[in-house]
Amino acid sequence: QVHLVQSGAEVKKPGASVKVSCKASGYTFMNYYIHWVRQAPGQGLEWMGIISPAGGNTYYAQKFQGRVTMTSDTSTSTVDMELSSLRSEDTAVYYCARENLSKSDFWGQGTLVTVSS
Amino acid sequence: EIVLTQSPATLSLSPGERATLSCRASQTVTNYLVWYQQRPGQAPRVLIYDASSRATGIPARFSGSGSGTDFTLTISSLEPEDFAVYYCQQRSDWLWTFGQGTKVEIK
């Protein structure tokens, strides 16, 4: 059974960085891209980027380039997303999602990141 | 970047009624058009992929249609659990974009 389990909620101060983890199980980790999507309170879904767990190749949304880094660890089947220079507008639920043929068939449970002084 | 525009923003309907949701793309998206449902406090779940294929376990009352730049999600007869927010999404090269969502609320 496929599972994506994310790390717990975080509270950060403006200017800090946050790292959110997404641990995959129940499938061959290297065979599926992982996307990161965030959702600010009461708002829609915003795509952040994609990582290929096999080779570590990444592609980030232009909005986040320079502030986001996605990495994968095949030994632990984990993908991390680090966002730096946090501001209040980064307060959101962050999701990892597995891509299967251009759609996401499994999502993590979401991680709330709160940015507040 | 392809922009997806969903309409209407909110759809107020009663259980048993038919819901028709629209997603319009700023340029042709081939058929990599996906529809998700999101209930409060939950992650999105895929309903329709490749514009018209139902995902595993999705009831037959959900259907998708369209091609090119205009796509539609239809819920033939609303059940109480269908009142939620619906998003369309497309993939172009490595990049995803989402529509802003349509909320289907109880009238």
Q: A20-70: per-residue pLDDT in tens?
A: 999 999 999 999 999 999 999 999 999 999 999 998 899 999 999 999 999
Per cent of chain A over pLDDT 70 is: 100
Alpha-carbon distance B17 to B23, whole Å? 20
B91, closest residue in chain A (CA to CA): A102
Range name among A95-99, B28-32, B41-45, B98-102 with the lowest pLDDT average: B28-32
pLDDT-derived band at A5 (thresholds 50, 70, 90) equals very high
Residues A107, B34: C-beta atoms closer than 8 Å? no
Residue-level pLDDT at B31 = 67
* Residue (of B72, B51, B76, B50) closest to B62 by Cα position: B76
Cβ pairs bridging A and B (under 8 Å): 56
Distances (CA, A) of A108 to A6, A41, A105: 6, 17, 10
What pLDDT score was predicted for residue B94? Answer: 81
Which among B34, B43, B44 is the nearest to A102, CB-wise?
B34
User: Is A56 an 8 Å CB contact of chain B?
Assistant: no
pLDDT level of residue A102 (50, 70, 90 thresholds): confident
Model confidence at A103, in pLDDT bands (50, 70, 90)? confident
pLDDT for residue A74 is more than 70:
yes
Alpha-carbon gap, residue A10 to A31, rounded angstroms: 29
Q: Which of residues 25-44 of B touch A (CB under 8 A)?
A: 32, 34, 36, 38, 43-44
- Residue A12, pLDDT score: 97
Task: With beta carbons under 8 A apart, name residues in chain B contacting A95.
Answer: 43-44
pLDDT for the residue numbered B91: 87
Residue keyed to tokens 């949304």: A61
The pLDDT of residue A101 is: 81
Q: What is the mean pLDDT of chain A?
A: 96
State whether residue B58 sits within 8 Å of chain A by CB: no
- Closest partner CB to A105 (pick from B46, B95, B99): B46
More confident residue, A103 or A34: A34
Digit-coded pLDDT (tens) for B27-74:
998 768 999 999 999 999 999 999 999 999 999 999 999 999 999 999
